[in-house]
Structure 1
């Protein structure tokens, strides 16, 4: 955690340079000039030799050698004042000039990602013995405050000229993001917005494909449709632990990782089967058809380039993110009219279905983060279309785990779990389930939109509790409510775990 700093006296670190050769009239006592740190070399412990390029008021330049008791950064720009013929007082240029010492949370709410470039750095008084503290001047590159200077205090010796990304944790608190995740998070945010606009509910595509039963379709297209439906799990499979694990593995969430790893045909993977369907649809449409080109282009943007190449279907075709709420809302694209098999519309529905799976994948990445207290929050979000009698019911699933950064016992790190389900199962109607496992105790809430369903579930909660106890679980509160769970910005599990013994 780094603080946005106000003025702080720096008397604990000597702000002076001792020249290794006299000024010889370059500066009179009290005169000032600008200087650039050309090179720095450590001579002995806590003593550094510095090569300065001095720029005088008349524009002429001179090179000086000096020693410093702090490690100046190569490239730093200084204002120097002659104290004597062999001593210079120094200060970083622009340090504190019009620099922000507090963020307006109305402009930059908590969680906002800011980017900046380090323009200057100086060592100031440490907070503890042997702990260095640096004042860093950052030029903001994004947000409404782009172009403003921000003064930070941090224990990290950020290099001058480096780019940094940080998350706003308060009006005077920032959390730096690891270098490996900075560009990824920006890309995720951009892609998530695009995918959310293009995605459509899976039932739109699956219903349209069911309506094609008995239609005269090309053999390859018919085979792709049969393979897609044949791979969908049924309710019995999802009721078994191994069957559920297999269905989650084949949900499309891991497609890209599996292609990069062992590869293979992946005949059971939902996303791969959707792409095969698209690959069979494209040749059936005139190349000049605007709808075909638009749908194909939309899908091309939905898939990473390596996945398109690996599947060989779309190689010829030509991007702290806030994920959409859970569950993803129903969004039906254009459907068939008068029961006719419109292959152009089918292609758009298939592209929208791929985008929906991609939205779940990106939402998982967007919600996986390090919380302000240092805990690791990991999220898996996916959608499983399951066969239930003659119905196809999409089941949305979100699993979150949070590993405590500072467990009470060093040898026993606690992992907190939350599982959420959302589905619309005839004749019960829309249902959502929230289950939490914390400190060895399982608790949960069920939400039913229909009053009769809520009453039915409430009457069966005793049986559910007993079955959970028989499975060896400690069970806390179980409840069923009519309606839907409250929606709001919830990124960590900490505020939602209840200690049943409290």
Structure 2
């Protein structure tokens, strides 16, 4: 797939192709066929396919004689003819055919010189394959221009051929995407971003197939830390990881929340690139990777460097661990990529398996779960449907609750208009000028599973809560008045606050702002 990334912002469809541009053109037969068309007679022909060979074009024609017989012949020409074009031909000699009449392009539905915006409205993303590309004659001092025939692959015009003029040559055989700007105007869309999104989706599907919930590995670490037979270094790493996890009181402070998010594992790669060794030590993903490296059988020495461990993890992971991770597909249903929250996923124990092997499997599955959140963040970052820039941060934080660990899944989204994003004083602007969304999901005994969706815009907060247990929903609903008062005391303007029994509806049109259009208009 060739990327059309050197074109200007806009390319114009050819205003009008001459109705008889090929009239009098001689088509050269690849193989001489004397008597193909009787002297003084003509035959109708349809262009079946077009192929560019250097500066010439190879055409496959289907000839229909006056008596109805049909023949397919291959010819070459100096100008392209779109597939589906209708011709009237005569034969000058055994090697050549002459074009007597070419059907007017205005009446030829297969060749378009303008777009019908009633069938392909402005904003439609067209995809096509370049059939031919030809430099147009230019006068001295004029800019070079190229004419191409593009076969459309989607929309209601799929199968038709589009004649376009471009300031850059379009490689023959390349695939391109363009947004409809008008009946005679297109804007090409670089493919690199779309390819990146495709790669992210593929990696996300792979990671989600291998991931498992965090409590499994944390429970195993608790047992490991209390086992006197565990190696001192491995036990120290387990104790250090467990001690680094926040509790509910730490998350009641804004700085504690920021620190917990920073250490959740979603920013490990960014810390490594920035050379921040101080921020790596408490990072959850870094500590899990270190544990995996230390638990590897036959390791001569533990890999305390998380960078080295991350680079060598895939190569040195033993075969039994890889095969064990492959069993995850049979443990529970595979979640949809990009879904929030990630469902709980428990890893079944293998028979005749040692403690270190089980820890290795659980830790590797936990790393995959953290990677799933990070890839989901990338998948949901970019230009939204309304043209605004959307940035997403998705993470999972295990919170200590007595002797148990409760995973808190969080997703934050910031949406900015193009003007806000391009503002030179962006770092100095009030962050409340942007539209913020937050989603939380956790299972807190005895309240049961809870989900929160809220949005903050221009200092105005609105939110909805869902509790799977009916009694929990009633309890939260009775406390919403107190929550509103506390938010008002913090200086926020509070909109609608509601609590529902059940789970949030899923789908592209269930965002929280759909309920309060008047608040964000």
TM-score, scaled to structure 2? 0.64
Conserved? CA contact 2:457–2:520, under 8 Å: no
Aligned pairs for 1:214-363 within 5 A: 214-215=226-227, 216-262=229-275, 264=277, 266-283=280-297, 313-317=313-317, 323-335=337-349, 342-363=355-376
Which of 143, 161, 170 aligns to 1:159? It is: 170
Larger radius of gyration: 2
Q: Distance in 1 between matches of 2:74 and 2:470?
A: 83
| Residue 281 (structure 1) shift | 0.8
Q: Distance in 2 between matches of 1:330 and 1:168?
A: 41
| Residue 183 (structure 1) shift | 2.2
The answer to whether structure 1 residue 473 and structure 2 residue 467 are counterparts is: no
| Residue 381 (structure 1) shift | 1.1
| Residue 38 (structure 1) shift | 8.2
Conserved? CA contact 1:436–1:444, under 8 Å: yes
Which of 193, 206, 213 aligns to 2:218? It is: 206
| Residue 54 (structure 1) shift | 8.6
Q: How many residues were matched structurally?
A: 418
Structure 1 residues 419 and 163: alpha-carbon distance in aligned structure 2, compared to 1, 3 A threshold? farther
Which of 473, 476, 483 aligns to 1:464? It is: 483
Structure 1 residues 272 and 55: alpha-carbon distance in aligned structure 2, compared to 1, 3 A threshold? closer
The answer to whether structure 1 residue 374 and structure 2 residue 387 are counterparts is: yes
The answer to whether structure 1 residue 189 and structure 2 residue 208 are counterparts is: no
Q: Distance in 1 between matches of 2:134 and 2:510?
A: 36
Provide, for residues 462-498 of structure 1, a one-character-per-residue CA deviation record: whole Å limited to 9, x for no partner. Answer: 1211111111110001112222212223597764553
Conserved? CA contact 2:128–2:150, under 8 Å: no
| Residue 139 (structure 1) shift | 6.7
Which of 429, 434, 440 aligns to 2:459? It is: 440
Structure 1 residues 367 and 435: alpha-carbon distance in aligned structure 2, compared to 1, 3 A threshold? same
Provide, for residues 408-452 of structure 1, a one-character-per-residue CA deviation record: whole Å limited to 9, x for no partner. Answer: xx9999632210101112232221111112343211111222233
Q: SS state of the match for residue 440, structure 2?
A: strand
Provide, for residues 157-204 of structure 1, a one-character-per-residue CA deviation record: whole Å limited to 9, x for no partner. Answer: 7824364476999xxxx9975333132122112112211111100011
Q: Distance in 2 between matches of 1:56 and 1:153?
A: 19
TM-score, scaled to structure 1? 0.66
1:46 is matched with none
The answer to whether structure 1 residue 421 and structure 2 residue 435 are counterparts is: no
Structure 1 residues 38 and 256: alpha-carbon distance in aligned structure 2, compared to 1, 3 A threshold? same
Structure 1 residues 398 and 351: alpha-carbon distance in aligned structure 2, compared to 1, 3 A threshold? same
1:452 is matched with 471
Unaligned runs of 5+ in 1: 1-8, 40-50, 67-71, 103-112, 124-131, 287-305
Provide, for residues 30-60 of structure 1, a one-character-per-residue CA deviation record: whole Å limited to 9, x for no partner. Answer: 9999998889xxxxxxxxxxx7679899978
| Residue 365 (structure 1) shift | 1.8
Worse overlay, 396-405 or 243-252: 396-405
Aligned pairs for 1:29-178 within 5 A: 97=110, 117-120=129-132, 137-138=150-151, 149=159, 159-161=170-172, 163-164=174-175, 178=190
Structure 1 residues 386 and 263: alpha-carbon distance in aligned structure 2, compared to 1, 3 A threshold? same
Cα root mean square deviation, aligned: 5.3
